[in-house]
């Protein structure tokens, strides 16, 4: 933490004499970063130029009083993700006025004329509050950025535990490159659950999630352990199948997926539910011109839609 004497302070009072008295007391106590404003509006303009650590303002001022100024400062603090310490000076006494000041966001409250020793003590206290609040806000911001970063780099789907689209793009690019250089083969297939919206609409999204998890388990069991299964989003999945020889791919591997999905119903909290899938697949025989990730994904996606148009529960290759 910085020394309280290094805190920047803005003194706001419509009376020049009051501003001069407060500045004199602060200067004698060792504060050097001091500015003065003759009105709340002038203070707001100065706040946009350089944010002070502490604002010391008179409660009663023309046009905009100290509480209204406090409201404006707190709004700016929220927008800027920072915190400004605020002390109000007033000739008004009583618990009611104190409660009103604190409820509006004031950090401390002093009556006029100020006692120099008491004022310095309270400024030190508010300076500590200011530093701690800004440290918390900074830590919270850094934590949010870290969480955002972790989400961006995460490669797994939180619901099903399999790879997500980010992993798919990474792996598909690597497998296409390997197939191109080694003359092996890559099959990319898009698998979409037919009429899945009806399940969500009829039974709710919780049941829909149960089905997606159960579907994922069955899909992983009906492909090879080396095949990469990912969830593109919603009810759409994708599988990458790599073959060490160009001619080893067999369409029956995808037909098995359809048969396995259709083979028996899926159990859920709402009872047994039947599912069918539509599959679109494209195969790259390594050695020729290598397709881009975008091209092979668009190819498989177009074929999947052709399977849908053909009445669903179809495979288009």
Beta carbons within 10 angstroms of residue 204's beta carbon: 13
Domain assignment of residue 242, yes or no? yes
What is residue 29's DSSP assignment?
Answer: T
Q: Could you tell me the two tokens for 29?
A: 């106590």
User: In angstroms, rounded to a whole number, what is the distance separating the alpha carbons of residues 222 and 237?
Assistant: 14
Query: Which among 63-67, 76-80, 138-142, 302-306 has the top mean pLDDT?
Result: 302-306
Cα dist from 116 to 14, 73, 105, 120, whole Å: 20, 25, 24, 6
Domain assignment of residue 160, yes or no? no
Domain limit, last residue, from 151, 183, 202:
151
What is the reported pLDDT for 31?
92
- CATH label of the domain that carries residue 190: 3.30.70.270
Q: Using one digit for the tens of pLDDT, what is the confidence trace for 152-205?
A: 668 889 899 999 999 999 999 999 999 998 889 999 999 999 999 999 999 999
What is the reported pLDDT for 139?
87
Domain assignment of residue 73, yes or no? yes
- Look up the pTM and report it: 0.55
What is the reported pLDDT for 140?
84
Q: Using one digit for the tens of pLDDT, what is the confidence trace for 96-135?
A: 778 888 888 899 988 888 889 999 999 999 999 988 898 8
**Statement to judge: residues 180 and 85 lie in one domain:** no
75 neighbors 95 (Cβ within 8 angstroms)? no
What is residue 149's DSSP assignment?
Answer: H
**Number of independent structural domains in the chain:** 2
- Assess whether pLDDT exceeds 60 at residue 257: yes
**Locate tokens 């003359």: which residue?**
183
**Statement to judge: residues 181 and 106 lie in one domain:** no
Name which of 21-25, 61-65, 71-75, 89-93 the model is least confident about. Answer: 89-93
């Amino acid at each position: 933490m910085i020394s309280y004497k290094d805190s920047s302070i803005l003194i706001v009072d419509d009376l020049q004499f009051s501003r001069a008295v407060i500045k004199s007391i602060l200067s004698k106590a060792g504060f050097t970063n001091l500015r003065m404003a003759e009105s709340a509006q002038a203070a707001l303009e100065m706040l946009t130029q350089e944010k002070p650590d502490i604002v010391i303002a008179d409660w009663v001022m023309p046009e905009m009083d100290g509480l209204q100024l406090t409201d404006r400062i707190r709004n700016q603090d929220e927008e800027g993700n920072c915190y400004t310490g605020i002390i109000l000076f007033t000739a008004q006494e009583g618990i009611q006025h104190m409660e009103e000041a604190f409820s509006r966001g004031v950090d401390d409250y002093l009556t006029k004329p100020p006692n120099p020793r008491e004022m310095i003590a309270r400024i030190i206290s508010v300076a500590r509050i200011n530093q701690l609040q800004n440290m918390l806000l900074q830590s919270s911001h850094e934590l949010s950025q870290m969480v955002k970063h972790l989400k961006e780099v995460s490669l797994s789907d939180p619901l099903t535990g399999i790879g997500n689209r980010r992993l798919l793009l990474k792996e598909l690019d690597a497998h296409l490159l390997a197939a191109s250089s080694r003359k092996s083969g890559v099959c990319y297939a898009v698998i979409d659950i037919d009429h899945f919206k009806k399940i969500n609409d009829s039974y709710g999204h919780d049941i829909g999630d149960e089905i997606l998890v159960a579907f994922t388990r069955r899909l992983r069991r009906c492909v090879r352990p080396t095949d990469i299964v990912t969830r593109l989003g919603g009810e759409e999945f994708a599988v990458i199948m790599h073959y060490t020889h160009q001619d080893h791919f067999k369409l029956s591997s995808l037909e098995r997926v359809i048969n396995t999905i259709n083979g028996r119903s899926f159990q859920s909290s709402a009872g047994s539910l039947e599912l069918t899938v539509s599959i679109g697949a494209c195969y790259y025989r390594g050695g020729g011109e290598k397709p881009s990730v975008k091209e092979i994904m668009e190819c498989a996606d177009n074929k999947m839609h052709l399977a849908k148009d053909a009445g669903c529960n179809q495979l288009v290759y």
